[in-house]
Amino acid sequence: MEWIQYLIIIVVLVIIAFAIAKSKNKNFKIEANKLVSNLGGSNNIESYEFNKSRFIVNVKDVSIVNKEAIQKMGAQGIVEIENQLKIIIGENAQELERQINDFMKRK
């Protein structure tokens, strides 16, 4: 009888671990598309680069950038200097960089 309780606890813990892992697994292709869209579209992006955990982008018109939506996507911060935005992405910056590079090559 006691082993059934342990088995139930183990099954519950496995289900919880699976749910947590699934919730942290982002679709970076969708994230890249949203980010470019929130930056005013690919036509608004003049240049960009990634520096560790930051995405640095120069835009033509900063007034059409939806900074609030970028924050809601999980950006840890945004610094605006003239037409340059430094967006602090965090630990997922490298994967996002690959997806944005792919997205921008197609445009």
Angle in degrees, 0-180, between the axes of helices 93-106 and 28-38, rounded to the nearest 10: 70
Give the helix/strand (H/E) hosting 47: strand 45-51
45-51 and 84-88 strand pairing: unpaired
pLDDT digits (tens, 9 = 90+) for 50-98: 888 889 999 999 999 999 999 888 888 899 999 999 998 887 778 888 8
pLDDT digits (tens, 9 = 90+) for 35-44: 899 999 989 9
Q: Is the dihedral of CA 15, 19, 20, 26 positive or negative?
A: positive
Closest to 32 measured CA to CA, from 86, 91, 104: 104
Q: Is the pLDDT of residue 22 over 70?
A: no
Look-up: residue for tokens 């292709």?
Answer: 29
DSSP per residue over 51-90, as a string? Answer: ETTEEEEEES-GGG--HHHHHHTT-SEEEEETTEEEEE--
